[in-house]
Amino acid sequence: MDKVRIGLIGASGRAILAQHWHTPLSRETEVVAASDPSPASLDHFRSWAGKDAFTTDDYRDVIARDDVDAIAIFSPDNFHEEQTLAALEAGKHVFLEKPMAITTEGCDRILRAWRDAGTHLMIGFNMRHMPVCLKAKQLVDDGAIGELKNVWIRHFIGAGSDFYFHDWHALSANINSLLLQKASHDFDMIHWFADAYAVRVSAFGGRDYFGDDKDNKLTCVTCDERDTCPEAQSRENPRQACVFRREVNIEDNAMVIMELANGVRASYLQCHFTPEYLRNYTLIGTKGRIEMNVERNELLLIRRYGSRCWEKEPEPERIDLGEYAGSHGGADPIIAKSFLKMLTQGVEPVSHPVAGRMSVAVGCEATTSMRQGGIRIVPPLDL
User: Of 310 and 39, which is predicted with more confidence?
Assistant: 39
> Residue 44, CB half-sphere, CA atoms under 13 Å: how many?
14
Q: Are 39 and 54 in contact (CB under 8 A)?
A: no
368-to-107, 126, 158, 203, 296 alpha-carbon distances in Å = 17, 26, 25, 8, 33
Of residues 349, 338, 331, the one with CA closest to residue 28 = 338
- Evaluate if residue 3 carries a pLDDT over 80: yes
Q: Are 220 and 236 in contact (CB under 8 A)?
A: no
Which pTM value belongs to this model? 0.94
Per DSSP, the three-state class of 169 is helix
Which CATH fold would you assign to the domain 128-210+248-331+358-377?
A: Dihydrodipicolinate Reductase; domain 2 (3.30.360)
Write the pLDDT tens digit of every residue in 360-383: 999 999 999 999 999 999 999 987
The domain ranges of the chain are 4-125, 128-210+248-331+358-377
- Evaluate if residue 208 carries a pLDDT over 70: yes
Query: How many whole angstroms separate alpha carbon 323 and alpha carbon 60?
Result: 41
- In the chain, DSSP finds a helix count (H) and a strand count (E) of 11, 15
* pLDDT in the model for residue 115: 96
- Evaluate if residue 209 carries a pLDDT over 80: yes
* pLDDT in the model for residue 373: 97
Write the pLDDT tens digit of every residue in 63-93: 999 999 999 999 999 999 999 999 999 999 9
* pLDDT in the model for residue 312: 65
- Evaluate if residue 23 carries a pLDDT over 90: no
Q: Is 128-210+248-331+358-377 in the same CATH topology as 4-125?
A: no
Write the pLDDT tens digit of every residue in 215-247: 999 999 999 999 999 999 888 888 899 999 999
Architecture of domain 4-125: 3-Layer(aba) Sandwich (3.40)
Backbone φ, ψ for residue 73 (5° rounding): -105, 115
Q: Is 357 exposed, middle or buried (0-12, 13-18, 19+ CB in 10 A)?
A: buried
- Evaluate if residue 309 carries a pLDDT over 70: no
- Evaluate if residue 24 carries a pLDDT over 60: no
Q: Are 324 and 96 in contact (CB under 8 A)?
A: no
Q: Are 95 and 70 in contact (CB under 8 A)?
A: yes
Query: How many whole angstroms separate alpha carbon 371 and alpha carbon 374?
Result: 9
What rounded mean pLDDT belongs to the chain?
A: 93
* pLDDT in the model for residue 158: 84
Write the pLDDT tens digit of every residue in 141-187: 999 999 999 999 999 998 767 889 999 999 999 999 999 999 999 99
> Strands across the sheet with 70-73, in order?
54-56, 29-35, 4-9, 70-73, 93-96, 121-123
| Average pLDDT of the segment spanning 87-107 | 97
* pLDDT in the model for residue 1: 58
* pLDDT in the model for residue 238: 84
- Evaluate if residue 196 carries a pLDDT over 90: yes
| Average pLDDT of the segment spanning 27-35 | 91
- Evaluate if residue 25 carries a pLDDT over 70: no
* pLDDT in the model for residue 53: 94
| Average pLDDT of the segment spanning 300-312 | 76
Q: Are 99 and 351 in contact (CB under 8 A)?
A: no
* pLDDT in the model for residue 163: 85
* pLDDT in the model for residue 293: 95
* Plot region of 46 (φ>0 → left; ψ -120 to 50 → alpha; else → beta): alpha
Q: How confident is the model at residue 122 (pLDDT cuts 50, 70, 90)?
A: very high
Q: How confident is the model at residue 19 (pLDDT cuts 50, 70, 90)?
A: very high
